[in-house]
Amino acid sequence: MQQSYPGMNPSISEWKGQEITDFQEELLRTVNAHLSEKWFYNHMKSVSRSLPRIDVLNLLSKYAGYANWDDFVFKNNDLIQVSQGNDINAPDVPQNIAKPANRYFILVPLAAVFVVLIFFGVFKLFNTREYKFCFYDFDTKERITNAKIEVQVLLEGETPVTKICSPDGCFFFKTDKSRIKMVVTAPYYLPDTVTRVMTKLDRVGIIWLKADDYALMIHYFSMMKVDDWEKRKKRLEAMIDDAAMIYQVVNDHEATGMAIYNKQEFIDKMTMPSGSLKNIEILSSQLRDSKIMVMKFRINDRKK
């Protein structure tokens, strides 16, 4: 205190109104703690034979430049003994004060951690809910069924979770968070990043996906019998980027092989009457400036 207030009375027991107020403000500024004036009179201006609470001893020790009360006692044990011997009014400080201080220093944090863990567990238990999300076609307003809809759920502070929708176009997800962000990909639909804020009363989320018209058109082209091949070629020219990379997966499940086409190679195979690209199933596609930049497909032999 004398470093901050050089004129401060060196005898704490003689401090009065303004000096006590200055001390309170100093504690608040340096260790973010507050001691009442009543506490000050009970412990600093009276002959008390008992020590204050350990939490108060800890904050006063921190103010004096020590880690805690245990650190103060360890570094000033000799000083405490001399002070007790010279001052008959000094409060008793037992020689083994460090032992109970150590015990409190260990047990109190452990108890606090235990209580926090219990509270956290109960909070998670009562706040974890199961939500249902279903996907619908933006244009037809009908649920998207029998499609491979892949969802990557992104929760703040947690590892992403990947979910695959069931044939009915829905998936279930349990979480204690109300804000749910997800990245959705599905064949013949544009990929999308969706955020939903759910409530206890609203546990079913509806998500609209926009169709990938280009992917659908290529799929239909591969299944149709066309007489005007030049017309089909012009349509494909307009749909595909000049730098596009197009991948044909030989086996989608085992990824045993892959063929790569550039724009012209792909169009040639799609527009030749004897072309080998029939019954194309689009697995994924990416657009750039409204044109196909990357596309992955396979030949579905089951479609005749």
DSSP one-letter string for 237-288:
HHHEEEEEEEEEES-TTT---EEEE-HHHHHHHHHSTT-S--SEEEEEEEEE
CATH placement of domain 130-209: 2.60.40.1120
* pLDDT (0 to 100) of residue 194: 92
How confident is the model at residue 141, as a pLDDT? 92
Tell whether the model's pLDDT for residue 273 goes beyond 70: no
Taking a C-beta distance cutoff of 8 angstroms, is the pair 132, 170 a contact?
A: yes
Confidence of residue 183 (pLDDT cuts 50, 70, 90): very high
Q: What is the rounded average pLDDT of the residues 182-210?
A: 88
The third-level CATH classification (topology) of the domain covering 213-299 is: Nuclear Transport Factor 2; Chain: A, (3.10.450)
**Averaged over 10-22, what is the pLDDT?**
84
Read off φ and ψ for residue 77, nearest 5 degrees: -60, -45
Instruction: Look at residue 304 in the predicted model and tell me its pLDDT.
Output: 40
More confident residue, 14 or 80: 14
Please state the rounded mean pLDDT for residues 25-50. 80
For 128-228, where are the alpha helices, taking DSSP H only?
Answer: 213-223
- pLDDT of amino acid 274: 61
The rounded mean pLDDT for the chain is: 81
Between strands 129-137 and 204-209, the pairing is parallel
The reported pLDDT for the residue numbered 172 is: 93
Q: What percent of the chain has pLDDT over 70?
A: 82
**pLDDT of the residue at 89:** 46
Domain layout of the chain by residue ranges: 12-122, 130-209, 213-299
Q: Which one is predicted more confidently, 147 or 122? A: 147
For the ranges 42-46, 54-58, 97-101, 244-248, the one whose mean pLDDT is highest? 244-248
| b/e map 257-275, b = 16+ CB within 10 Å | eeeebebeebbebbbeeee
- Amino acid (1-letter code) at residue 284: S
Return the minimum-mean-pLDDT range out of 59-63, 85-89, 224-228: 85-89
Over the stretch 82-133, which tens digit does the pLDDT of each residue have?
A: 555 544 444 444 445 555 556 666 777 777 787 777 766 555 555 678 889 9
